[in-house]
Amino acid sequence: MSDKELKRLSVLQEICDQRITQSQAAQLLHISERQIRRLLQKYKAQGPAALAH
């Protein structure tokens, strides 16, 4: 996994652990809240492998 993918994984895990909100995650990753929801949905369904390209 690239550094970018590892950061996304870390931030998504923080959302799951309820340490940050989706809005905060979007700001951290410089992407839209909608994209956060898409990533989170894939992450919950497929696990970390969903983030690897």
Taking the alpha carbons of 28, 23, 44, 35 in that order, is the dihedral positive or negative? negative
CA distance 39 to 42: 5
Q: How far apart are CA 23 and CA 32, in angstroms?
A: 8
Q: What is the pLDDT of residue 27?
A: 98
| Residue 51 confidence (pLDDT) | 85
Task: Identify how many contiguous H helices and E strands the chain contains and give both numbers.
Answer: 3, 0
pTM for this model (two decimals): 0.88
Tens digit of pLDDT for each residue in 1-53? 899 999 999 999 999 999 999 999 999 999 999 999 999 999 999 999 988 87
So what's the pLDDT on residue 16? 96
